[in-house]
Structure 1
Amino acid sequence: MANWEATLEPDMLEKVRYRAIQRIRRENREVLRRPEGHRDYLQRVFREELERVRPDMSIGQLRELARGLALDVMGYGPLYDLLRDSKITEIQVFAPDKVLVEREGEITEARVRFRDMDHLLNITRGLVGVAGARLDENSPLVTCQLPDGSRLTASIAPVELNGVFLGIRKFPEFLDLEELVRRGTLTAAAAAFLKLAVDIGLNIAVTGPVGVGKTTLMNALADLIPLGKTLATTEEVAELQFPRRRNVRRLVAKFPNVEGTGEISLPVLLKAQLRHQHDWDIIGECRAAEAYYVLTATTAGHSIMTTFHAETPREAVTMRFPDMVLQSAEGRAYGDSRAIEHKVALSLDVVVQMARAGRERKVVEIAAVGWDKGVVIEPLFCLEGDKLVSAGGRGLELLRAKRPYRNWKAVD
């Protein structure tokens, strides 16, 4: 917040806003319904109304405050420039004067401020409204998608003790596998193996903590699927990109509407997806009960690709994925967690583990998964120092024995 803005009384600011909105309603009511694309007009109106009440302001001050008021009407407020910055991947707002951004892997404090908590709350509600969702005392926690594909999470009192939290995860840039190799995310040898795994139709899970590039890598792997293959995707928020193909069935979850009804969850969508034959089923991210239907897809003859949170390939197979399966009524029907562990080990073939290495996001391990009186995790590539190297071992033999009827000719 600029020093001169702090001296502008709230009632005077509200008077300017009221007069400007009334004028816009008279001149061009459509601007208020669809403000995007009318920024110049909005700024001019606010600047002229500001001049009426504060003729002592400089041109620079008038322009800056008018721009801020115009962006409020557009629904973005102080976040406008951050949302347009292609290098920023995440925005987190903890308080009116505490905004953090992730830019090229580094988290720093942004030099933007909201006027006060009411300003932050109004902008947050406005963004949620643009996404067609609801945020109020009866629905104080929401996850939704902005028109540009960014994922928005917001919470307010009574669940948010600090008043308001706003988080925006921006739509990932599409990078093919060759570009990821150039950027050092993985080596050419590891990329060649992953291409082979896709060609053979092995079931692949990309795992790792939040914000390590799992979706970016899965986008690149999905791009390797031959154009003649059919595929379907299910996502909570549409983040996957398919620049080379059109024969994709895409399903996306529906969040509750402003009345709190109409939700369509990932498990419901996956049930619908599995009623039809596809060569590949891609699940954007597993978090809970939908994991059961991922396993079901593998038994239906579909190749699958998904992401979920885990710290190591062994944790992914023996703990994290079974825990998610148990969140479904069907999964609990197994009754025995070891039976689920067995099922997961037979269903998943390759785990690609990602992590942060300093400011970089890297593949740190690629492992083959099998079962021999217990879960077998056979490393194919491991990080040594800062380089991903072949681990040797019997990973390929394990996968050959597990999937004997796949096309292994490319390996021979």
Structure 2
Amino acid sequence: MAHTTLPFAYDQQTASRVTGDFITRLPKDLRLACDQSPFLAEYLRQVPLDEIGMPKYFPKPSRAMGQMEVYNLIYPIMEGLYVHIYPDATGARNHYIPIEPTTVVDVDHLTSQVDEKLIGWAEEIGRLEDKEEKRQLLLQLVDHFCTTQRRPSNGSRRAADKIYVTPEELEGLRYRILRDKVGLGVLQPLLLDPFIEDISCSGVGHIFIEHKIFKSVQSTIVFTTHDEVDEFAVWLGEWIKHPVTVRNPLVDAVLPDGSRINIVYGREISKRGSNFTIRKFSGTPISVLELIEFGSLNYMIAAYLSLMLEEGLNLFVVGATASGKTTLLNAINTFMKPDAKIVTIEDTPEVHVPHKNWVQEVTRSMGAENKGGEVGMFELLKAALRQRPDRIIVGEIRSLEAVVAFQAMQTGHGVMSTFHADSVEKLIQRLTGEPINIPKTYIDNLHLAVIQQAVRLNNGKMARRVLSVNEIIGYDPVSESFSFLEAFRWNPTTDTFEFPGYMNSYLLEQVIAIKRGIPPHKRKSIYDEVKRRARIFEKLHKEKGVRDFNEFFQILCEARRQNLL
């Protein structure tokens, strides 16, 4: 199995020689954290502070911290743990160190002793399905097996049944047993960090992390041999109840917290050996206002999209892998009318809708754990048409389900989805080519294509931006060409957004204005509505401090109730 390798020398004797007033020399906020979590203080005693300097403590990291020249900081994560972003001496990739009660307290030899005693309780432990009940039983058993009292000298039978530990070792044991028996083992701290996007093991070596703020970092979790990776992959498959074997070496599944996991087992199909990737479930989605804060789009684009979705127009968010398509799709879901009935169809649950009338459907693959047959997106999409939804959201359109999606558009159902392509031209090529084969005359049922990409800014930093918002107008059979209008586009030189569709938008003037009952001679007034909404969003964000996804949705609901939008 994996083990932890710190990026500095670990010497227990050195830590014990650190003077007693060490804590008093720490900055106040870090000292308070150490008072609450003594294992954090023990960890800091090991850190070569003379070399890297004193880490800064942040109760909650902010996106602005991604601009720091040197990363040396500590922040808390869930369940009382901490993370140290440790600077790399070579400048290649900074280290991600989960600070646990067992980081500098060795309990490996004690864990094996406790495991031996737990065997006698395996049936009782296995019978418990409730996670909290299992946690409580395991903690009771550890406390029963272990004692912090001094070992008696008479060598009694009763004394031999106990495991003698220090208070620090007992805390470490209680944590380790819960982490490995209830949690996801060495990966558990990574799942408890809300700032992690992806966890990736490529085989032998370190586990790598994509962090929302600090980007690509190297964790201290290491596999030293192929056998260790294979063993962990098998254990991981059993833990998620999707076993991997030589005959079934590929597994896609969902963790209890909603995170997606992919496991590839063995060296026959992966030259570097077993590997796995976890795409973290983000919990509460990022709101449109937060995306504006990050620079992904601006208030005018948000206002424009709010009008489009409010009136039920069809939209695809288009881009490459990890470009932020689903993040943007979730964010703009708040613009749909609050009384709408929404049906979402996905392979893996990632789309989040704040509406109460939400039907969430997920595909089912063939497998031993499924008594029925396979149910794909194509079947679910056909079934959704019978549920009278106002909006159908497909997590990702890949193949033949696009045919049903376009049929839904033609029958008046609003459709949204993500799609893999890097431009409007490539989107249309994929839709009209093999194997999807959407008739070219149907393409204008898709009103909007929002192109989202990961880009490199002038300062060298990577960011996600809406490259363009495109209105698809129609197909000319004579010239066999498609016409579309670029309503918005990103300017890479200034990192700002331009509005070439201003006073020239087909959808605003010929669709939205008509739907809103604006007479022909006043249709240009629709642009005033876009600007008004943009000002409202900006005021909510900058003056009222609104950022949260659910709070923003509730404000929009109330505004619509009062006919303010």
TM over 0.5: yes
In structure 2, the partner of 1:411 is 526
Structure 1 residue 254: Cα displacement: 1.9
Indicate whether 1:76 and 2:184 are aligned: yes
What is the identity, as a one-letter code, of the residue corresponding to 1:362? R
Give 5+ residue unaligned stretches, structure 1. 332-336
Q: Kindly provide the amino acid, as one letter, of the partner of residue 403 in structure 2.
A: Y
Among the aligned pairs, what percent are the same residue? 24
2:122 to 4, 17, 25: 25
With CA pairs under 8 Å and 6+ residues apart, which has the higher RCO, 1 or 2?
A: 1
Aligned equivalents of 1:292, 1:69: Cα separation in 2: 51
Please list, as runs of the form range in 1=range in 2, the aligned pairs for 1:10-409 lying within 5 A after superposition: 16=113, 18-25=115-122, 28-30=124-126, 33-34=129-130, 38-39=134-135, 42=138, 64=172, 67-68=175-176, 70-104=178-212, 106-114=215-223, 117-157=226-266, 158-172=268-282, 173-243=284-354, 245-259=355-369, 262=372, 263-319=374-430, 321-323=431-433, 326-327=434-435, 331=436, 340=438, 342-343=440-441, 345-357=443-455, 358-373=461-476, 374-384=481-491, 385=493, 386-392=495-501, 396-397=505-506, 406-407=515-516, 409=518
- How far has the Cα of 1:383 moved from its partner? 0.9
Q: Counterpart of 1:29 in structure 2: which amino acid?
A: I
Distance (whole Å) between structure 2 residues aligned to residue 372 and residue 393 of structure 1: 23
Q: What letter corresponds to residue 122 of structure 2 in structure 1? A: R
Deviation (angstroms), 1:97? 2.9
Q: Distance in 2 between matches of 1:66 and 1:118?
A: 28
What is the aligned partner in structure 2 of residue 334 from structure 1? Answer: none
Change (3 A) 1:70 1:404: closer
Give the match's secondary structure for 2:387: coil
Asked if 1 retains the 8 angstrom alpha-carbon contact of 2:465 and 2:490, the reply is no
TM-score, with length taken from structure 2: 0.61
Determine helix, strand or coil for the equivalent of 1:239.
coil
Name the aligned partner's letter for residue 448 of structure 2: V
Cα distance change of structure 1 residues 301 and 289 upon mapping to structure 2, 3 Å threshold: same
- Number of the residue aligned with 2:67: none
Distance between the aligned counterparts of 2:247 and 2:225, measured in 1? 23
Deviations 1:326-358, CA, capped at 9 Å, x for gaps: 43xxx5xxxxx5xx3614522211111111233
Structure 1: how far apart are the matches of 2:245 and 2:147? 32
Whether the 8 Å contact between 2:125 and 2:137 is mirrored in structure 1 is: no
Count of residue correspondences: 393
Alpha-carbon deviation of 1:133? 2.9
Q: How well do the aligned residues superpose, as a CA RMSD in angstroms?
A: 3.6
Structure of higher CA gyration radius: 2
Aligned AA for 1:352? V
- Residues 1:56 and 1:249: Cα distance change in structure 2 (over 3 Å): closer
Tell me the equivalent position of 2:552: none
- How far off its partner does 1:267 sit? 1.0
Displacement of 1:304 after TM fit?
0.7
Q: Residues 398 and 90 of structure 1: is their aligned pair in 2 closer, same or farther, counting only changes over 3 Å? A: same
Matches of 1:210 and 1:64, distance apart in 2: 40
Distance 1:111 1:24 in 2: 33
Alpha-carbon offset, residue 116 of structure 1: 5.3
Q: Distance in 2 between matches of 1:196 and 1:20?
A: 64
Shift of the alpha carbon at 1:394? 7.7
**C-alpha separation between the residues in 2 aligned to 1:234 and 1:266?**
7
